[in-house]
Amino acid sequence: MTDKTLRILIADLQHFHRMKIERLFNGLDYYRIAPVQNLAELLTLVDYGCQPFDVLVINAELAAGMADLRGFLFDHPQIRRALVYGEPVDSSGVPGHFGAKIITSPAPLPSIRAIEQLTTSVEASFGRPSRGRSQIGLVHNCQI
């Protein structure tokens, strides 16, 4: 039996990139995905969401307007794990204490391998058995 309860947030300025990343997750049977196109949408979903996002996949370019992206991602209780891609190669990288929660990549888009590793590590952190293929579903509105 597979687990499809992970909540995923994809943040990229380009629609094509968001769709491509979403399809990578769909290929792993994850469907609980919310794509956003700008920082305001991301902050709204994260700050006012009822449940935390298990995975945030964000383009570093989208977050260029944020003073301390790593600190925000590390400290925010509504984000459990993050993959920041498109990070400049000369970037300082992620300090050791951020490493368990934040992964960075200079790649212009995350690969299927990076997505598989990310979902495997998230499920393992919840004590769920590792599967050859991971899964997800769509973001639903909160019930009051």
Q: Can you give the pLDDT at residue 3? A: 60
Q: How confident is the model at residue 4 (pLDDT cuts 50, 70, 90)?
A: confident
CATH 3.40.50.10440 is right for the domain spanning 8-125: no
**118-141: per-residue pLDDT in tens?**
998 888 887 755 444 433 333 344
Q: Can you give the pLDDT at residue 128? A: 56
**70-115: per-residue pLDDT in tens?**
889 999 999 999 999 998 765 555 455 556 789 889 999 999 999 9
**Number of neighbouring beta carbons within 10 Å of residue 19:** 14
Burial of residue 138 (CB within 10 Å: 0-12, 13-18, 19+) is: exposed
Q: Can you give the pLDDT at residue 111? A: 95
Strands (E), 32-87: 33-36, 55-59, 82-85
Tell me if 36 sits within 8 A of 58, measured CB to CB.
no
Q: Can you give the pLDDT at residue 136? A: 37
Q: Can you give the pLDDT at residue 93? A: 53
Is the predicted pLDDT of residue 67 greater than 90, yes or no? no
Domain edges within the chain = 8-125
**30-56: per-residue pLDDT in tens?**
999 999 999 999 999 999 989 999 999
Amino acid present at 33: I
How much is the pTM? 0.81
Tell me if 122 sits within 8 A of 80, measured CB to CB.
yes
